[in-house]
Amino acid sequence: MKNIVIIGAGIAGLSAGCYAAMNGFKTIIYEAHNSPGGLCVSWKRNGYVIDGSIHHLAGLNKKSLYYKIWEQLGAMPAPVTFYSDLSSVETLDGKKFYVSTDIEKLKENMLELSPEDKPVIDDYYKLLNKMRNIDILEIGIWGIKDL
């Protein structure tokens, strides 16, 4: 049996270890900390919970290349709900700006709040439409033909 040693039990090290084991390697993973996970963990400090993993929720959309990787690793959680409004900001006079994943709604809301910025909002909207089907998190795993 072939052996492989992996330094670091973050998401990359754990994934590499899983794939190595799936391909017949005896895998040993070394981690400096007392628990695995790297940046994909949360911890308590001074009465607060620090969640370092929220930015690692990439690939939960079934169309994402990462989704297939998570499935292969057995790491897919229960079904995920995607909300169109990520957050909102409200002014003292009651106007709301919605940070939305629905770019039509985003444009409409920006125009409602700031019609004088229509040329800039239109340019922003056009750029969002051009990038609509690109998962920027996947660029690192694209092949030459994808670029």
Q: What is the pLDDT of residues 37-49, one digit of tens each?
A: 887 777 788 988 7
Residues 101 and 70 in one domain: no
Asked if residue 143 is part of any domain, the answer here is no
Residue 58 has pLDDT above 60, yes or no: yes
Examine the domain organization and report whether 27 and 98 are in the same domain: no
Same domain, 13 and 75: yes
Q: Do residue 50 and residue 96 come from a single domain? A: no
Q: Indicate if 75 and 106 belong to the same structural domain.
A: no
How many domains are contained in the chain?
2
Is the domain of 114 the same as that of 59?
A: no
**What pLDDT does residue 147 have?**
60
Q: So what's the pLDDT on residue 98?
A: 84
Q: Are residues 75 and 91 in the same domain?
A: no
Are 49 and 90 within one domain?
no
- In this structure, the answer to whether residues 6 and 39 fall within a common structural domain is yes
Region of residue 37 (phi > 0: left; psi between -120 and 50: alpha; otherwise: beta): left
Tell me what pLDDT residue 141 has.
Answer: 67
Which residues constitute the domain of residue 47? 2-81
Q: What is the pLDDT of residues 76-130, one digit of tens each?
A: 766 776 677 777 888 888 888 888 888 999 999 999 999 999 999 999 999 988 8
What is the pLDDT at residue 71? 86
pTM, to two decimals? 0.57
Residues 74 and 101 in one domain: no
- Flag whether pLDDT at 36 surpasses 70: yes
Same domain, 11 and 48: yes
**Burial readout 15-49 (b: 16 or more C-beta within 10 A, e: otherwise):** bbbbebeeeebebebebeeeebbbebbeeeeeeee
What pLDDT, on the 0 to 100 scale, is given for residue 115?
A: 95
Q: What is the CATH number of the domain that holds 26?
A: 3.50.50.60
Q: Please indicate, yes or no, whether residues 59 and 94 belong to a single structural domain of this protein.
A: no
